[in-house]
Chain A
Amino acid sequence: MEKKDIKHIVKTFYNALEEGKILGRKCTKCGHVEFPPYLACNICGNLDTEWHEMSGKAVAMQIMAPSFGFSDKSFRDRVGDYCVGSVKPEESGELVTCFIGVSPGRVDELRGKIPFPVRPIIIQEDGYKMVFWELDE
């Protein structure tokens, strides 16, 4: 292997967010998409993946109100109401995430609608951007 063979994966992901694109890596054998992007496939073990722009279609699989003891108050101050839980993008596996703009008072109602549709929202952090999810309603 030479230096030129080692392409940036993490930096490419973050650079794409700056342009509003969310990238994963698609397995060339089984088609599973690794999101966030990795080199090899965690489903079939194939060692080759290629860039894939995520469709943005996803559903929430679990939702909980932020807790008193462990939630991040500074995050709430910045983004307003949010809940925590898990999201399943259509092409990839389930991930822990935050649902932005969702009042904790809606958790019981939304739990009854699982899996409910959500869409990605890109938020500016300190020097980089990050993907979270919001209700698609």
Chain B
Amino acid sequence: MGYQVKLNPLKPLSRSVSIIGIGATPFMLTMDDPETDGLCEGELFGYAAVEAMKDAGITAKDVDFYIHAQAGPTWQSQVGTPNMHVANWFGMKGKGSCHHSEACCTGYVALEQAVSYVASGAYDIVLSGACDMSYSVAYPDRPAFMRRSGDDRMFRDTLNSIFPKDYTLESYAALDVHSEIWLDEYIHENGIADKIDDVLCVLARDSRRAAALNPLSLCNDTYDELAVKYKMKDADTFLRSKFNPFLGRYLRASHFEQRCDGAGAFIVCPTDMARRCTDHSVEILGIGHSCLEISTPRLEKYATETAYRQIRDLTGLTGADMDLFMANDFHMSSQFLAAEACEYLPENEGWKYAFESRTAFDGDRPVQTNGGRCQYGHAHGTSGIHDYYEVVKQMRGEMGPTQVKRPVNYAMVRGYGGGQNLTCAILKSNA
């Protein structure tokens, strides 16, 4: 028994919308590296936005409206009007803009926002982007090049800020249960309590293998290479060692997000315009969207299923029709839980696909091919844009060593924020 969300059906867009350009900075710990120390929001958002406009073959003059996204403008950047703080960096001075923030789902909602503006007919070319500096945090009263560590205590306070404040009935439980409450149910329904550590360690190893090959990733070494460094036999030995302790009941340190800094941006326009200006645009067929607050047990499961049903009913396409699945796996088990809930993987077999490396970038049902939040990194509100970046580049065949083995014509992107928004988008290559 669980919470059944009944939503009104999603309706088709008034006009089709496509992505024509995309840009992304690497995910970084900027303040820890002399090469990047002192970088700030305007620069990072600016570089990503400029790359996206160049990729689209347009200039700032062509953009009608821009949308700013960030998971935590107050705690990361100490600003209350984040869209205005970066606008001048990439030629948007005077143009209309807005800001939105939906925790870890922010970057996924960024696409829905941009698509809605264009589909409405109000604007033709919209830039949507995000910058999060969750690791290198600003001071309230110093220039932005001066940063301080966004430490665990600060981050815990931030996590607490997403819990309901009217009532606090989920106190002392919410932070503790949400990373594993769906996994716990899944483990006992499938009778895999004795296998789950093996599954998750394989998943960590394979995700890290993808991240290490990705030039935008925070991590550039595999677990096998780390094992050598610690004088251990192999990745498996390292992943079961004291260097990878259990933080949850099933999840080890390697299965939780790695906070970092980064930015990303994309350009959308009507699909007929996109077809005229580029041969590799990516059409957004629709985005399902359901929200449940954090006092709801297994909210990730129920809202994922709802968002998926919406997009399936709108498009007639199922997860099985997809060539690639992205999950926003800030708890790594979300890779197979979400992929299974969205019918990308067969029911009750997601864990087997992960265990047999079939969900790795070089497997037959690839999931989260950039390595995901736990290995590629998590710059909270920006991570969704990096997942769209990965999809667009995979569709173009530009991912080099992590390019999946078959053409990517359709992709499903499941967005997830820690205690509210769940989105499910289907993207289609126009090539």
Residues on the B chain within 8 Å of A15, using CB = none
Q: Which residue of the partner chain B has the closest CB to A75?
A: B172
> Is B1's beta carbon under 8 Å from chain A?
yes
Query: Interface residues of A, CB < 8 Å — how many?
Result: 30
> Is A119's beta carbon under 8 Å from chain B?
no
Within the complex, what minimum Cβ distance (angstroms) separates A17 from chain B?
A: 10
Interface string of A51-66 (1 = CB under 8 A from B): 0000000000110111
Residues on the B chain within 8 Å of A125, using CB = 171
CB <8 Å contact, A68 and B247: yes
Within the complex, what minimum Cβ distance (angstroms) separates A86 from chain B?
A: 4
Q: Give the 7 A-B CB pairs with smallest separation, nearest first.
A: A69-B247, A86-B297, A36-B167, A84-B173, A96-B170, A75-B172, A70-B176
In whole angstroms, how far apart are the Cα atoms of A88 and B177 in the complex? 16
Residue from A65, A70, A96 whose CB has the most chain B CB atoms within 10 Å: A96
Known: A13-B167, A62-B185. A96 touches B248 (CB 8 A): no
CB <8 Å contact, A72 and B176: yes
> Is A131's beta carbon under 8 Å from chain B?
yes
* Chain B residues with a Cβ under 8 A of chain A: 1-3, 166-181, 184-185, 188, 245-249, 256, 294-298
Residues on the B chain within 8 Å of A97, using CB = 169-170, 173
**Contact check: which of B1, B168, B169, B176 meets A66 at CB < 8 Å?**
B176
In whole angstroms, how far apart are the Cα atoms of A64 and B250 in the complex? 11
Residues on the A chain within 8 Å of B166, using CB = 10, 36
In whole angstroms, how far apart are the Cα atoms of A62 and B174 in the complex? 13
> Is A124's beta carbon under 8 Å from chain B?
no
Within the complex, what minimum Cβ distance (angstroms) separates A66 from chain B?
A: 6
Interface string of A73-90 (1 = CB under 8 A from B): 001000000101110100
In whole angstroms, how far apart are the Cα atoms of A62 and B247 in the complex? 20
Q: Which residue of the partner chain A has the closest CB to B178?
A: A96
Residues on the B chain within 8 Å of A82, using CB = 172
- List, sorted by A's number, 13 A–B pairs whose CB atoms are closer than 8 Å: A61-B1, A64-B176, A68-B246, A70-B176, A72-B176, A75-B172, A93-B3, A94-B1, A95-B170, A95-B295, A96-B177, A98-B171, A98-B173
